[in-house]
Amino acid sequence: MIFLLFWRFTEFGGPIHQRPVQDVAYNVAQFIHRGGSFINYYMPNYGHLKELHRAIKMCVRAIVADPIVTSLGCLQCASFLSNYETKSTSIVLFNNMHYNLPPWSISILHDYRNVVFNTVKVYIKRG
């Protein structure tokens, strides 16, 4: 079991350090992709991270399953497409489809085709 805790002490009277929620989402997605299993937040942007966890939950069967070599048509599929470049968008060809990955982002595909979440795109529900 791997743990990830986000913790930063603030000095009395000093600056308050805040990480953009997109950066937190990027690190959490990367952590889950590498086998992480426990995340603890302290006052993050709830809406964006809620959508990240919804996407991860869609992929949970594939994430926790024993690795099995199967065709891309399997029911237990998940993909994490990463762009480690900090300033430029990358176009990735994966499974005969093109994906635009914004700088410093991870896109989660729950079925090897459809992006259900990207760490830098803040999703706002209206109404």
Q: What is the CB neighbour count within 10 angstroms for residue 35?
A: 10
Instruction: Report how far residue 29's alpha carbon sits from residue 16's, in angstroms, rounded to the nearest whole number.
Output: 25
Cα angle: 16, vertex 40, 29; to 5 degrees: 95
> For the segment 4-17, what is each residue's pLDDT rounded down to a tens digit?
445 556 677 777 66
- Collapsed DSSP state (helix, strand, coil) of residue 105: strand
- Token pair of 10, please? 């603030």
> For the segment 45-92, what is each residue's pLDDT rounded down to a tens digit?
788 889 999 999 988 887 777 655 445 455 567 889 999 999 999 999
Q: What is the pLDDT of residue 89?
A: 95
pTM (predicted TM-score): 0.75
